[in-house]
Chains A and B, each alone.
Chain A
Amino acid sequence: MIPEQTAAVVMFTLLLAMVIGGVHLAFALIFIGVVFGLIYQGLAIFPMAMLQIFDVMESEILIAVPLFVFMGTILEKSGIAEKVYQSLYELFGPVRGGLAIATIVTCTIFAACTGVIAATVTTMTLLAIPSMLKRKYDKGLATGVVCAGGSLGILIPPSVMLVMYGPMANLSVAKLFAGALFPGLVLSFLYLAYILLRSWLRPKTAPAISREERPPIGLKLLRDTAFYMLPAAFLIVAVLGSILGGITSPTEASGVGAFCAMILAAFYRKLTLQYVKEAAYSTLIVTSMVFFIIFGAGIFNVVFLYLGGGALIRDALIALPFGKWFVLATMMFILFIGGFFISWQGLLYILVPIFLPVVSALGFDQLWFALLVCVNLQMSFLTPPFAYAIFFVKGASPPEITTWDIYRGVIPFVSLQALGLFICTVYPEIILWLPRVTLGGGGR
C-alpha cells in the first residue's frame, strides 16, 4: 500500500482530474472520500460519513442558507429590482456610462438585501443588458458590469458565503457580516470609478441617453426614486440592520427577511401560488446542490486530513521563503487559480480548513483573513470556465451576446477585484473597524 501522505496527494490530484474531467463536484468528493477511506480506514469510513452528513444537518447557523436563497428568489419575482433600476436609470441616464452606473448601484442595493447572486445577476441581465445594448453600449462592458455587480451579493452582507465560513472557522457570523460591508463597498466604488473613467476616455462605448429620452429633472424624479427605494430600504433595515444593530442572529434574520420579502411581494401583487412554488423549487435545487458539496467535502476531508494531507500542505506553506506575506500571497494565489475550476463552496470547504492553522501560526487575524478569502472568491464568480456569474448572464441574455463577449468583459472587473483584495490587505481597518465598533473586540 502506498504511504499515507502520498495517498493524500493522490486523492487531491484525482479530485482535480475528476472535476476538470466533468464529474459533479459533490459526487467526486464523496466517491474519493469513500474509496480512500475504505482502503485506509476500513469500514469506519461509513459511520464517519454519516456523522459528516448529520453534522451539516444539525447546524443551526446553516439554516440561514436556504432561507436567504428563498428570500432572493421571492425578491426576483416581486419586481422590486425593476422599480429601483428604472428610477436610477432615469437619474443617471444623462451621464456617460450612466446605465452602467445605475446597474452597479442597483446591484449594490440588492446585495444588501439578498444573500446570493443568482437572483440579482439574472434580474439585471434581463433588465440592464437589453437597455444598455439598445443604447450601443459595448457588449463586454454591459455584461462585465452585470457579472461583477451581481456577484457583490455574496460579499456584501447578508451572504450565504459568510454564513458557511463562520461555523467552519469558529468565527461569529454577525462579525463576518460586519467585516464584509466595507470591502463590498470598496469593490462597488472601484467599479463605479472604472466606469466613469472608461466612459470618459471612450465615450462611444458607453453613451449617455439621448436628450429626447431624458425625463425632466425635478422634484417628481427625486420623489419617484425615493418611493421605489423604500421597499429595498425596508428589507435592508429588517435584515442587515437587525443583525448589525444587535437585535437578531443571522438565522433569525434570514427567516424574518424571507417573510418580509413575501409581504413585499404581496404588496406588489406578485405573491401568486405559481411564483411561490417556483421560488420554493429553485431554492431546493440550490440548497441541495450546495449542501451535497459541503458534506461531500466533509467526507473527503475526514480521509484527506486523516492521511496527513493537511499537515503536508501546511508544512509546505510555512516552509516557504520570503516571510509571512509571501505565504499569504501564495494562499491567495492558490484560491485564485482554484477559482477557475472549482466552485467557491468547494474551495471554501477543501482549502480554507487547511489554511486556517497556517494563518494562526503566522499570527494573522482570523477575521481579516476570512474577509480576504471572501473578496478573493468574488473573482471565482467571474473566472471561466467555472464561473457562476457568467453562467447566469449567458443563460438569461439575448442571443447576440456570445460567451467571448462576456469573457472579454469580465477581465477589467477581475483586475478591479484583485485591486480591491490588495487594498483590503494593505488597509486591514477597512475590514476590522465596523465589527469592532458594532460587536465588540476580543479574541474572535
Chain B
Amino acid sequence: MKVLKYIDRISEWTGIASAWLIIPLMLAVVHEVVMRHFFNAPTGWGYDTCWMLYGAQFMIGGAYTLLHKAHVRIDIVYNILSPRGKLIFDAIIYAVVILFVMILLTMAGIKFAADAWSTGEKLSTTNWFFPSGPSKTIIPVALFLLSLQSLAELIRTISSITKGKE
C-alpha cells in the first residue's frame, strides 16, 4: 500500500534527522566544558540548549524506534501463539495500547504546547528565560509521528491477517 510507504518514509527520515542531533549535542556539551574550565566563562544558553537537543532526539526518535521494532518486549508467551494468533495479538496492541493512547496524548500535547505559546511562558531552568513554546512543541510533534507509525503498523498487520485468510 502506498500510504504505508509514505508513513514509513516519514518515520525513517524524522528518525534520521533526530539521530544526527547527537553530534550538535556532543559539541554543545564540549563547548560548555571548554568555556567553563578554560575560559571561566560558562554561557547563559548552553544548559538549556543541551537539554532541548537531547529532548528532541529521543522524543522524535520514538516513531523510528517503533518502525525498527526496537521498543523492548518479552516473547515467551507470544512465541507460543500461532502465526495468525501473533498477528491478531499485534493488531490489538497497535490499535488499543498504542494508537488509541497516542492519539489522546497527541491532543493533550497540542494543548500543552499551545498554552506555552499563548501565555508567553518562559523556561525557568536558568536565567536565560528562553520561551518554553519550542521545547514543549516537540511533544505533540513526536507523539503525532508515533501515532502515525502505529497506524501504519496496524494497517500492515490487518492486511496480513486478511491475506492469510485468502
Contact = CB atoms under 8 A, between A and B. Distances in A.
The short answer to whether A and B are in direct contact, CB under 8 Å, is: yes
Contacts of A21: 77-78
B64 interface: yes
Contacts of A292: 58, 62, 65, 71
Contact of B23 (A24, A49, A280, A287): A280
B139 A50 contact: yes
Contacts of A212: none
B93 A70 contact: no
Interface in B129-158: 135-136, 138-139
Contacts of A341: 74
Interface of B: 15-16, 18-20, 22-23, 25-30, 32-33, 36-37, 47, 50-52, 54-55, 57-59, 61-62, 64-65, 68, 70-78, 89, 93, 96-98, 101, 104-105, 107-109, 111-112, 125, 135-136, 138-139
B33 to A, nearest CB: 5
Nearest to B70: A285
A18 B55 CA distance: 28
Contacts of A20: 74, 76-77
Interface residues of A, number: 58
Nearest to A25: B72
Nearest to A260: B30
A19 B23 contact: no
Most A Cβ at <10 Å: residue of B50, B57, B139:
B57
Given A67-B26, A258-B26, A34 B105 contact: yes
Contacts of B47: 60
A94 interface: no
A351 interface: no
B49 to A, nearest CB: 11
A13 interface: no
24 contacts: A23-B93, A24-B93, A27-B93, A28-B97, A35-B101, A49-B105, A54-B112, A57-B51, A57-B138, A248-B33, A248-B37, A252-B29, A255-B25, A256-B29, A258-B22, A259-B27, A283-B19, A284-B22, A285-B61, A285-B64, A285-B70, A287-B58, A291-B58, A386-B74
